[in-house]
Amino acid sequence: MTKSIETDILIIGAGPVGLFTVFEAGLLGLKCHLVDNLDKIGGQCIELYPEKPIYDIPGVPNQTGKEHIDSLLKQIEPFDYEVHLNQRVDKIEESGDYWIAETTDGISFKTLNIFIAAGAGSFEPRKFPVKECEKFEGSSLFYSIKDKTIFKDKSVVIFGGGDSALDWAIELSKSSKVTLIHRRDEFRGAQSSVDKVKELQKNNKLEIFTKYSIKDVKGNGKLESVEIKDDDGNSKLISADYVLGFFGLIMQLGPILDWGLNIDKKTIPVNTETFETNKQGIFAIGDICTYPGKLKLILSGFHEGALAARGCFKYARPDEKLRFEFTTTSKAVQNRLGLKND
């Protein structure tokens, strides 16, 4: 059953630029809904570098990706917004003055303004190069973890050599039989995590096979085992209830390509006065937009989101005049921020 929601702005992407746009829109009294196909808020900051420092946020000399997202979530607390995760906007169509946007989870948004803040597109996991794996995807073979409790007391085979593979091998080894497989001899995650998995291996808490890759998965309706091979073609068969693959992510524009927008080398050209695209009411901000002199920086995305929020105001509130107001002096803005005025 389709769920219908009407909103001032639909933001595609819940990364830092999308979140800051909630703040800028909130200052103007506009409500936002955000959609992201990841299972958590934060975009690249959380998915790719949650513990790595960012040095070029104005006024913040040093902040990790996670700390940055936490700060933005704190900043937008005063505003009424909603985030819809684990789904993407699959289709948009015009309906009179409005846009109707439908997600893969069956939500239909009615809005006058769509902001595409999707980075370089949607994140998609790199998948196993073995066709047989497709039969088990979503049941016993996964590329991300939503509920770790399903692995308790089960045999879990993890492929990958980066931070995600190492971290989940460490975590799941507490309650599962874990086998960690990497195609190279050396892991590329944090050294502390590498040291930990080797310690767990030494204490027989998990098994490690390096210089091996997947050859096949076997099972009659239900996953039973994984066949792996080394560089010389030698094979091993490992019993498995679940298989996890952590090979990183690739960026895809996906359905955005079908929305009639001008596309230039996987980016969307915009008018830099409002960051509107060639379609009225559709704006592009952050890494996905392009214009002369464009810099792919978070701070640039913040600037773009601020101008786009003001640019869309004429559609969201056609009978109101937009006045520029400073947060330091405007009582109306401070009221929206939940501040008490003496």
Confidence band for 145, pLDDT divided at 50, 70 and 90: confident
* Residue 235 resides in a domain: yes
The verdict on 114 and 140 lying in the same domain is: no
Question: Given the structure tokens 């989940």, which residue do they identify?
Answer: 168
Lowest model confidence (mean pLDDT) among 5-9, 116-120, 186-190, 338-342: 338-342
pLDDT at 82 (0 to 100): 97
CATH number at residue 196: 3.50.50.60
Give the Cα separation of 156 and 206 in Å (integer): 10
* Residue 342 resides in a domain: no
The verdict on 91 and 233 lying in the same domain is: no
The residue-averaged pLDDT of 79-105 equals 94
The verdict on 107 and 161 lying in the same domain is: no
The verdict on 41 and 185 lying in the same domain is: no
The verdict on 31 and 52 lying in the same domain is: yes
Domain boundary among 246, 264, 289: 246
Are 225 and 138 a contacting pair, CB within 8 Å? no
The verdict on 94 and 196 lying in the same domain is: no
Domain boundary among 227, 246, 265: 246
The verdict on 242 and 264 lying in the same domain is: no
Confidence band for 61, pLDDT divided at 50, 70 and 90: very high
Question: Given the structure tokens 């989870």, which residue do they identify?
Answer: 105
* Residue 271 resides in a domain: yes
* Residue 70 resides in a domain: yes
* Residue 199 resides in a domain: yes
Secondary structure element (H or E) that encloses residue 202, with its range: helix 191-202
* Residue 341 resides in a domain: no
Lowest model confidence (mean pLDDT) among 76-85, 100-109, 122-131, 259-268: 122-131
pLDDT at 15 (0 to 100): 95
Is the confidence at residue 163, as pLDDT, over 60?
A: yes
- HEC letters along 24-88: HHHHCCCCEEEECCCCCCCHHHHHCCCCCEECCECCECCEEHHHHHHHHHHHCCCCCEEEECCCC
The verdict on 75 and 106 lying in the same domain is: yes
The verdict on 258 and 119 lying in the same domain is: yes
The verdict on 165 and 186 lying in the same domain is: yes
Is the confidence at residue 146, as pLDDT, over 80?
A: no
The residue-averaged pLDDT of 154-164 equals 94
Q: Which domain holds residue 186?
A: 127-246
Query: Using CA of residue 195, residue 198, residue 203, residue 205, what is the dihedral sign?
Result: positive
Could you tell me how far CA 32 lies from the centroid of its own chain?
18
Give the Cα separation of 44 and 40 in Å (integer): 11
The residue-averaged pLDDT of 299-303 equals 97
pLDDT (tens digit, 9 = 90+) per residue, 179-228? 999 999 999 888 999 999 999 999 999 999 999 999 999 998 899 999 99
The total of structural domains in the chain comes to 2
The verdict on 116 and 259 lying in the same domain is: yes
The verdict on 172 and 91 lying in the same domain is: no
Is the confidence at residue 55, as pLDDT, over 70?
A: yes
Domain boundary among 209, 228, 246: 246
* Average pLDDT over all residues of the chain: 93
Q: Which of 106, 116, 142 is nearest to 127 (CA)?
A: 142
* Residue 155 resides in a domain: yes
pLDDT at 126 (0 to 100): 87
